[in-house]
Structure 1
């Protein structure tokens, strides 16, 4: 059993993927080929925004957004304490200060009430200017945007949606990566929509920001390739990766998001009496289920449980074992919200992610659940 079975996906979509790669290679436009622009147009239409700018990876996508806004030294950027490193890394990379905020335990996403406490505390202290909220759609579930967006408007904050794990999720009819003033996603192979290498994209309705991001992504170019009007970076999506994503996109939109939601429903049923805290999707939300993550009782030895499951052929992962504010890279260079993030600490000690993806079978779910229940005894 695979934790996320990319080989099964390839075999299911092999004719489309092979043809897309072959056509890209045969055409020979390996950088900025026509597939890149076609992909951008289709992704923008899928998300429901005006602009999509592809780039080299999801981390660059976040940093490009901050660069377009001119975020830098003296700015406070609010980031969930329970997330992948790059959500805060990009803040430090542009010289701003990350402020880590605790999360809501059932959904794993930022706790909006604690976020407001942190914004007010930073504002009142006066050393930093509250500037941006990075909202993470963790494990595929969009953050609480009906509360986040009014809060950002109230305090004059820009909203950067980190949809690296959330692409394909939704709130009602509104798609993930449409909620931020600028939104970003990742096409890392194991993400809900993944390529065969690194890749990312930025989404916005703002014409000026889109133009800046396009410039920053290609060495700060101006009117043409060798007219450099600002210092940027080299962050382009390769044509072959765009071709792979185009080959996958219809299946993703029309089949795979529904499939992972069915697998999540089966897990919910199979684990209902396990004593585990199962992931929660609020009413009206759709998750793209980048991960199916449970919370163990604090009395369970997680390392021992993982070892026992591995012996039975069931792979598991811990996302994430350490709070952001405890990462050595941020020592002396971050602010921790007034509550000191106790929920994050508890999650880091108890979360465990199970095999997930659109090609997990019902039989796989039963086998995982039985092994899990046996391991808990």
Structure 2
């Protein structure tokens, strides 16, 4: 029986092993391990890649969100609108600053936050909006920015899953007032540990974030604000610089394999991902919907195929947010998708043969 993982990081490493080892060895030989030349070079390369003025490396994708919101002045008494159909960090950082997350429902096709639902949630306490480019497909950024401008709101793009994605031929991270990336190992551009990056065209936000990430100090030992210890590791930066050279090709491979799945699964009673024409979807995950999710996932497991649920409990239904008063059915589309959706294997090294085996296994379930 075949064994097909959801993601094969060892297969990726095998293609770049020599370059990664040389990059790591260069750091170890150089002796600069914190905020060294590799971090600076990666920041320059990410800024150029995304077409933005500033890129600032931090310890992880969650810190990236937190530092931007802090720099934007989000705090107690403020509300920040975001999606409940995402990883917990998107709301967690709002709460950590003493603000209140306000959840708006999603578009049933793209799974991204719905602009009209955001509009309905705006109050005089609203300070910011965090759209999440979920699974690698951008949210509807032009309409969100128009809405934000009308109400003088800060927009932070949570692009943890969407580096290299584009909306209307413009890179994600270049639409909002700032954007954030995660370099968690499973991401399209993943390190060998934690890491994150903030991108922005706003000089003031960039300056504040650079101070916040080093304990609020500038220069060292002189503190103008209460900050954080959130620095991108030099070893991670060195490895990420190698991987960044391959990112476009890897994402193109993901898109090609997604198209193969679309074709192989089109006649089956599952819903394949919707790809909006005005967007470059980078398929961090290939998400399908099924009426009998548990049964189908178990069938795939029995045949050696790994799957994953993203995400089983929408954020408004998490125990920690019970006090916000969102009842069952209050955000119906997110709740429905949390019950129906799951990911099947997708990564650049996945073979056509394996994809056909996965599709046939799904087909067998419905016979």
* TM-score, structure 1 normalization: 0.94
Asked whether the equivalents of residues 254 and 283 of structure 2 are also in contact (C-alpha less than 8 Å), the reply is yes
| Residue 233 of structure 1: aligned partner | 228
Shift of 1:30: 1.2
| Residue 346 of structure 1: aligned partner | 336
Matched, 1:321 2:321: no
| Residue 284 of structure 1: aligned partner | 278
Asked whether the equivalents of residues 83 and 103 of structure 2 are also in contact (C-alpha less than 8 Å), the reply is yes
Q: Flag structure 1 segments of 5+ consecutive residues without an equivalent.
A: 124-128
**1:245 aligned to 218, 240, 243, which one?**
240
Whole-angstrom distance in 1 between the partners of 2:150 and 2:358: 46
Shift of 1:26: 1.4
| Residue 80 of structure 1: aligned partner | 83
Asked whether the equivalents of residues 97 and 335 of structure 1 are also in contact (C-alpha less than 8 Å), the reply is no
| Residue 164 of structure 1: aligned partner | 160
| Residue 13 of structure 1: aligned partner | 16
| Residue 183 of structure 1: aligned partner | 179
| Residue 147 of structure 1: aligned partner | 143
Q: Flag structure 2 segments of 5+ consecutive residues without an equivalent.
A: none
Matched, 1:372 2:362: yes
| Residue 256 of structure 1: aligned partner | 250
* TM-score, structure 2 normalization: 0.97
| Residue 38 of structure 1: aligned partner | 41
Shift of 1:335: 6.4
Whole-angstrom distance in 1 between the partners of 2:295 and 2:90: 30
Q: Secondary structure at the match of 2:240?
A: helix
What do the CA deviations read for 1:304-327 (whole angstroms, capped 9, x no partner)? Answer: 322221111100000011111111
Whole-angstrom distance in 2 between the partners of 1:361 and 1:245: 25
Whole-angstrom distance in 2 between the partners of 1:116 and 1:221: 38
Shift of 1:376: 3.4
State the Cα RMSD in Å.
1.4
| Residue 355 of structure 1: aligned partner | 345
Aligned runs of 1:53-72 on 2, under 5 Å? 53-72=56-75
Equivalenced residues, count = 364
| Residue 103 of structure 1: aligned partner | 106
What do the CA deviations read for 1:314-348 (whole angstroms, capped 9, x no partner)? Answer: 0000001111111112221x3659x8210011001
Whole-angstrom distance in 1 between the partners of 2:179 and 2:145: 13
